[in-house]
Amino acid sequence: MKNKTGVLSLDFFKGCSSFHEDDQRPILDSMQEASKIDPGRLFVQVGIGDARSTVSLIRALNDLGLECTLLSIDSHPSAKFAWDALCSGLRGPCLPRFRETFSQTIDGHFSFYGPSWLMISGCPCYQCTRSHLKDWVHRVALDGFLLMNKANEGSEGVLIPSPYHREEGRVDVRCGVLRGAESAHRIRNEYEPWHSDECRMMKIWRRNR
């Protein structure tokens, strides 16, 4: 999907409301950089919701020609259904995979290579963000990337219903991502900002070597 000047177009993000327009190029840049790091080329998305963003990511990886695995992890019952319907049939250099939980990923391939690219795009509340970080942040490969969606959504707290907290009703989600990230000891000590000023909704960290 290259135009006349050989620059990759961003068409695969069309119709995907998950990623702000300004964030799409930095996402692609991080993917390309990440592909140089790890021969296993493991890309991970934690939290896929209705899987529309996952479709965009798979298309992007395919169009970049990156031979890799995109592992999607989401415990919500509707996520597997959405992934099966939208993602399982997508063909290209990128191999899509789905797991419901973190513990299901401890097998073969996934336990050997840490992800060189990890996007956390699950429930953006403080507790979920912290929990995802605790599970994943130390697994990111050296020089690898950590992307957090909805990190810059605003500093005012707001209560919204979340399908991930049905029993609790409404949860405070705004600013949960940044607060979760800032309170995670490892983030502050091991990650340097990268491209963060170019991102509207996304925060991108790169792990120090």
Which of positions 107-146 make contact with Zn ion (CB under 5 A)? 123, 125, 128
Residue 189 structure tokens: 């000590």
| CA–CA distances in Å: residue 17 to residues 14, 21, 69, 125, 152 | 8, 9, 23, 19, 15
DSSP label at residue 8: B
* Residue 31 or 123 having the CB closest to Zn ion: 123
Query: Rounded to the nearest whole angstrom, what is the least distance from the CB of residue 165 to Zn ion in the complex?
Result: 6
Q: Which SS3 state, helix, strand or coil, does residue 104 take? A: helix
Query: Rounded to the nearest whole angstrom, what is the least distance from the CB of residue 111 to Zn ion in the complex?
Result: 26
Does position 46 interact with Zn ion (CB under 5 A)? The reply is no
DSSP-derived pairing of the beta strands 42-46 and 68-73:
parallel
* Residue 106 or 160 having the CB closest to Zn ion: 160
Query: Rounded to the nearest whole angstrom, what is the least distance from the CB of residue 153 to Zn ion in the complex?
Result: 14
| String of contacts with Zn ion for each residue 160-199, x by CB under 5 A | ----x-----------------------------------
Residue count, binding to Zn ion (CB under 5 A): 4
DSSP code string of 42-102? EEEEE--TTSHHHHHHHHHHHHTT--EEEEEE--SHHHHHHHHHHTTT--SSEEEEEESSS
Query: Rounded to the nearest whole angstrom, what is the least distance from the CB of residue 138 to Zn ion in the complex?
Result: 21
What residue ranges bind Zn ion (CB under 5 A)? Answer: 123, 125, 128, 164
